[in-house]
């Protein structure tokens, strides 16, 4: 039987992914490529919805690719590519904009939140049409499932609606993707504000573990993570959000169950436990960071790999776009 097709995307908006990105989504990308036909897209066009610098977008796109490979995305098992190198994304994006209602698009919470944050004057039109471009990202590859975090649920629902609408109006064109919301993935919170998820845009600088930070910096961040009243190492998200977050992190990386960690560290005190978490995280990230740095040394190699990925992606994308135009009735 043919393998199921998965597609996911990540924005190249910073120099480093963080531990929440990895444990919350990217780790599953790596696992899924083993038994799926996986397409992973660095969505640089989506990153243009906020102000960018030419040098930065280039640097961060390459840094994202290097980190994805260092984390285990293999160009042999997956198709890893940059969105702007596959023009069909914009082309199908327009068709999706023509399928979507204005009210429907206005209800997207990510748009509502961000436009509130930036104000309607500085919020870009691209922020409004973002979900329709995302729908195109997914539908071009006839993806069966889309591994994303909970925050993307609404965009996946919209994608399904748009695909269904297109299919019923113009004939079977797109696979309707399953929202594959990553339930099994660990939800990692900010080390300094453990009630909020680890995030570069909202979190505190010292609360975010960055993959590209030095081992020393990350060890220090973990050792200074905020802890809770008392001294018992126990999982209790209400009473002990800080310790619970550290237990989640240790468990996600070491593979030890939370309860075995509770028995190991329960009465040893917070200091000993935090040092153990720091060791586990730092030793895990050390070779990943090094691999990413090595890949970034040879920019040509990296760029060539991305070109190969885009060439593979364009074949699939062009095929779908052609079918969509044909079903719409455009003159070929
Ligand atoms: N909107 C997604 C995010 O913010 C990124 C994204 C763009 C994406 N295109 C996609 C995710 C296609 C999955 C599939 O995380």
> Which pLDDT tens digit goes with each residue over 220-231?
999 999 988 899
In the set 197, 221, 240, 274, the catalytic residue is 197
CA of 222 to the centre of ligand 1 (A): 29
Burial of 162 from C-beta contacts in 10 A (0-12 / 13-18 / 19+): buried
The angle that helices 270-297 and 299-328 make with each other, rounded to 10 degrees, is 80
* pTM score: 0.94
114 annotated active-site: yes
| Residue of 6, 8, 174 to test ligand 1 pocket, by largest number of atoms within 8 Å of CB | 8
Give, using CA atoms, the residue closest to atom 10 of ligand 1.
9
Residue in 79, 85, 88 with CA at minimum distance from that of residue 320: 88
Give, using CA atoms, the residue closest to atom 9 of ligand 1.
134
Residue 159 phi/psi, 5-degree rounding, is: -60, -45
**DSSP conformation letters of 97-148:** HHHS-HHHHHT-HHHHHHHHHH-TTTS-HHHHHHHHHHHHHHHTTT-SEEEE
Residue in 29, 24, 28, 25 with CA at minimum distance from that of residue 40: 29
- Give tens-digit pLDDT for 249-269: 999 999 999 999 999 998 999
**DSSP conformation letters of 306-325:** HHHHHHHHHHHHHHHHHHHH
**Pocket, ligand 1, Cβ cutoff 6 A:** 7-9, 11, 43, 46, 134, 137-138, 146, 148, 152, 155
Residue in 297, 242, 302 with CA at minimum distance from that of residue 274: 242
CA of 207 to the centre of ligand 1 (A): 24
The number of the ligand 1 atom at minimal distance from the alpha carbon of 134 is 9
CA of 272 to the centre of ligand 1 (A): 39
Q: Tell me the pLDDT band of 313, cut-offs 50, 70 and 90.
A: very high
SS3 6: strand
Residue 240 phi/psi, 5-degree rounding, is: -130, 65
3 annotated active-site: no
- The pLDDT of residue 177 is above 70: yes
CA of 284 to the centre of ligand 1 (A): 26
The number of the ligand 1 atom at minimal distance from the alpha carbon of 133 is 9
Which two structure tokens, joined as six digits, stand for 309? Answer: 């990925």
pLDDT of amino acid 181: 67
The number of the ligand 1 atom at minimal distance from the alpha carbon of 10 is 5
pLDDT averaged over the chain?
Answer: 94
- State the Cα angle at 293 between 290 and 298, rounded to 5°: 135
Give, using CA atoms, the residue closest to atom 6 of ligand 1.
9
pLDDT of amino acid 50: 85
- The pLDDT of residue 32 is above 80: yes
Q: Tell me the pLDDT band of 184, cut-offs 50, 70 and 90.
A: low
CA dist., res. 202 & res. 270, Å (int): 26
**Which single residue is written with the structure tokens 């050390």?**
286
274 annotated active-site: no
CA dist., res. 164 & res. 196, Å (int): 35
Using alpha carbons only, how large is the chain's radius of gyration in Å?
21
CA of 55 to the centre of ligand 1 (A): 23
Residue in 123, 117, 109 with CA at minimum distance from that of residue 157: 109
Contact 295, 302 (CB under 8 A): yes
Contact 158, 190 (CB under 8 A): no
In the set 59, 77, 187, 200, the catalytic residue is 200
Residue in 166, 188, 204 with CA at minimum distance from that of residue 253: 188
Give, using CA atoms, the residue closest to atom 15 of ligand 1.
10
């Amino acid at each position: 039987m043919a393998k199921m097709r998965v597609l996911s995307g990540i924005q190249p908006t910073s120099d480093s992914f963080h531990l929440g990105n990895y444990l919350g989504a990217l780790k599953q990308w790596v696992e899924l490529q083993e038994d799926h036909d996986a397409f992973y897209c660095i969505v640089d066009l989506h990153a243009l919805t906020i102000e960018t610098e030419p040098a930065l977008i280039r640097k961060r796109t390459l840094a994202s690719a290097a980190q994805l490979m260092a984390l285990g995305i293999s160009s042999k098992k997956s198709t890893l590519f940059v969105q702007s190198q596959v023009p069909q994304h914009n082309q199908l994006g327009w068709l999706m904009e023509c399928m979507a209602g204005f009210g429907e698009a206005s209800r997207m919470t990510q748009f509502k939140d961000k436009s509130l944050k930036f104000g309607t004057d500085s919020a870009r039109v691209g922020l409004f049409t973002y979900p329709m471009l995302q729908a195109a990202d997914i539908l071009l590859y006839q993806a069966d499932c889309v591994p994303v975090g909970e925050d993307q649920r609404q965009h996946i629902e919209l994608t399904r609606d748009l695909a269904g609408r297109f299919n019923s109006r113009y004939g079977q064109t797109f696979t309707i993707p399953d929202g594959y919301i990553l339930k099994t993935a660990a939800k990692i919170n900010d080390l300094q504000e453990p009630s909020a998820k680890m995030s570069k845009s909202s979190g505190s600088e010292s609360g975010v573990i960055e993959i590209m930070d030095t081992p020393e910096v990350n060890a220090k961040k973990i050792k200074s993570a905020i802890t809770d009243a008392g001294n018992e190492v126990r999982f209790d998200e209400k009473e002990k959000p800080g310790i619970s977050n550290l237990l989640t992190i240790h468990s996600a990386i070491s593979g030890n169950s939370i309860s075995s960690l509770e028995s190991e560290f329960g009465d040893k005190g917070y200091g000993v436990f935090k040092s153990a978490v720091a060791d586990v995280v730092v030793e895990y990230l050390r070779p990943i960071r090094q691999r990413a740095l090595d890949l970034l040394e040879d920019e040509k190699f990296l760029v060539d790999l991305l070109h190969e990925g885009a060439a593979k992606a364009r074949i699939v994308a062009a095929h779908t776009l052609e079918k969509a135009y044909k079903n719409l009735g455009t003159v070929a």
